[in-house]
Amino acid sequence: MLRRATFGVLALVCAAAIAAPAGAAAVKAAKPRACVSNSEKLALDTRVLQTELLIGALSCGQGEQYNQFVSSFQPQLQEQGSHLISLFNRIHGAKGTDKLNEFVTNLANDASKRSQNIGHGYCYFTWDIFYEAFDTAPESFPKLVDKPWIPVRHGFSSCETS
């Protein structure tokens, strides 16, 4: 079994490369028209992290780890998914579902492009997130998704100060 320390330095270097905006870093469909509440931002952040891990599962043979992540955090993922649906319905009204589908597709496409461009570095990056997730208690889930590179992916900011 691979150990987290094996990837530590490489993951940091890759995370920096992944986090650095290249062209249009934020998903085009998610250009903020309004700021969001902290709970809505958590839902957006959750979707970004889950998408990055999904692409890691597909691109890096990390399917078992992804399934473990989803199993470990299923209640949190479901709750945040509901908040995300509500957010897109609030912002886009009747087009909320279509806009949410477009948003999720764009996140996946962007992550897939990074995976292809960075190659094994992307795998190191997602391994590091998986290891952190496996060390995170379900009640600490918001801390897991609190990463500085995540809001860049969805393009929304919080209206709230804390």
pLDDT given at position 32 = 45
pLDDT tens for residues 71-93?
999 999 999 999 999 999 999 99
Query: 32-68 as b/e, with b when 16 or more CB fall inside 10 Å?
Result: eeeebeeebbbbbbbbbbbbbbbbbbebbebeebbee
pLDDT tens for residues 122-151?
999 999 999 999 999 999 999 999 999 999
CA distances to 7, 28, 41, 57, 98 from 101, rounded to whole Å, are: 33, 13, 17, 20, 5
pLDDT tens for residues 9-59?
334 334 444 444 333 344 444 454 568 999 999 999 999 999 999 999 999
Average pLDDT, the chain: 84
**What pTM did the predictor assign?**
0.80
pLDDT given at position 8 = 42
pLDDT given at position 23 = 36
Can you tell me whether residue 36 is helix, strand or coil?
Answer: strand
Q: What ranges do the domains of the chain cover?
A: 9-18+38-154
* Geometric angle at alpha carbon 12, from 143 and 148, rounded to 5°: 40
